[in-house]
Structure formats: structure tokens, C-alpha cells
Amino acid sequence: MSDTVIIGAGIIGCATAYYLSESTPTKASSIHLVEVSPELFASASGKSGGFLASDWFSPSVAPLGELSFKLHKELAENNDGKRKWGYSPSTGASLSEDAQNTGSRQQRGEDWLRHGSSRAEVAGTHSFKDGAGPAWLTQRKGQTIETIGMDDTVAQV
């Protein structure tokens, strides 16, 4: 069996190494990942913040994006990904503000970080309420929220 060298240790390189190591009957005897960056999370994989989506791709790469999302989901289901690396189906939302409101910011309320808590803890839920966004999100006049991805198409790791 020959050695395999994979150039790039981002999500694509790591996933390629993983699936190559699991493939049968040609399990690689040695797999090497080569990464040019001297720091972790320096490129696209690191900057995505663990966001996964199945249907947010241009037509030319849509099948690859859908397959990638499916494989992430299967990997998490088969290896307790929720507990081991925080895989979590999510809901994607877009919050926009009326141009009139962007010039002057209103008082945001209590400083949650200073008090060692979070708005999410106070709300006690991360679910969307009546299509108005997550329960922990306080909206101001002129803001609109749109659901742009649901549990079956969006996830976070």
C-alpha cells in the first residue's frame, strides 16, 4: 500500500483524510496532511465558524455542498457528534434594520456580559417563536427577521 499526501488541512483536507482512512478495501497505510499556514483556522474552514448549510451554494457547486452537509450529519450521527464536537442542527435567520434606524442606536438594556450571564440564559430557549425569530432576540422598531434555513438544512459545529 502506498502513502497518501493531502495538500491542505482545512475541512476538505481533513474530511478527505478521514474518508480515505475509512474506505475499504483500500485503507491507506499512511496518510499525511500538509498545511502551508503556520497558524490554526487561518483560511476559509477556520473563518466559517463551524457553520454548515446544505442549500446555500451556487448552482455549479450545489451538489457538492449538499453532499458535504449530508456527510457532516452522518458523521455526527454515527459518532456522537453532538457530545464530542458540538454538532447541532440549527435555524438560520437574517436580521435586517430599516435604514432610518441605523444612524442612532437605542439603549441596548442590561450589560449581560458584565453580569456574567447571557440573553439566551434569561430567555431559557433557543427556539423560534411564531416566526418572529429566536425567543432571546429583542427586536427594535424597524427591524425584520427572516428565516433562511431550518434544522434539516443548517447546522453548527
User: Mean pLDDT in the chain?
Assistant: 75
**Interatomic CA distance for residues 85 and 113, integer angstroms:** 25
pLDDT at 21: 85
Percent of the chain with pLDDT over 90: 11
123 pLDDT band, cuts 50/70/90, is very low
Give the mean pLDDT of 66-80. Answer: 91
Write down the H helix ranges in 28-148. 44-47, 62-78, 81-85, 119-123
**Interatomic CA distance for residues 93 and 82, integer angstroms:** 21
